Amino acid sequence: MPGIDENRPFIPAKIAVMTISDTRTLEDDKSGQTLVDRLTDAGHTLADRTIVKDDVATIRAQLEAWVKSPDIQVVIATGGTGITGRDVTPEAFEALYTKPIPGFGELFRMLSFETIGTSTIQSRATAGLAGTTLLFALPGSTGACKDAWDKILVTQLDNRYRPCNFIELMPRFGEK
């Protein structure tokens, strides 16, 4: 049975949160704050938080800085994963992947179907590894952030989760 093994230690991850929006500020960024609240409540460390414009070069520059930083192991972004002309988050993220994690988007859309039905096909949620940093791009809605954290990330970012999780794999991300 999958679940938390209380005999294993919890290992906090250093997580950065990025909101992609032309209109949000830290004061009204409910989705970004939802992620911050959930990750800190789970025992992880908020390593950084920012809001960037819907622009591939701007998003990518911030991601590249965080991927180079030893103080950040995971990036979770919210916004810009739809299909409108201004939605460019997947393009920025996927350009940096050294290893895509297609199962994340597939699982997210499957779980999202339970909440929003067929509208889930409009989401281009994505994840991948960029060097040794995990990158997750979520839709901009608070509900999508809650679903992604509560139903996927909270366990995959917990070393105690069995049969396997991302945290226990982190020391091996840089293997050749």
Q: What percent of the chain has pLDDT over 70?
A: 100
The three-state secondary structure class of 57 is helix
Indicate whether 165 belongs to any domain: yes
Work out how many domains the chain is built from and give that number. 1
Give strand pairing partners of 50.
18
Cβ(131)–Cβ(67) under 8 Å?
A: yes
DSSP codes joined into one string, 18-55: EEE-SS--TTT-HHHHHHHHHHHHTT-EEEEEEEE-S-
Nearest C-alpha neighbor of 107 from the set 127, 87, 91: 127
Judge if pTM exceeds 0.85.
yes
For residue 163, say if its preceding peptide bond is cis, omega within 30 degrees of 0. yes
Indicate whether 25 belongs to any domain: yes
Domain with 115, as residue range(s), is 11-170
- Per-residue pLDDT tens digits of the chain, which is 176 residues long: 899 999 999 999 999 999 999 999 999 999 999 999 999 999 999 999 999 999 999 999 999 999 999 999 999 999 999 999 999 999 999 999 999 999 999 999 999 999 999 999 999 999 999 999 999 999 999 999 999 999 999 999 999 999 999 999 999 999 98
The dihedral of CA 2, 34, 45, 54: what is its sign? positive
Indicate whether 2 belongs to any domain: no
65-81 residue pLDDT tens: 999 999 999 999 999 99
Q: What is the CATH number of the domain that holds 145?
A: 3.40.980.10
Indicate whether 100 belongs to any domain: yes
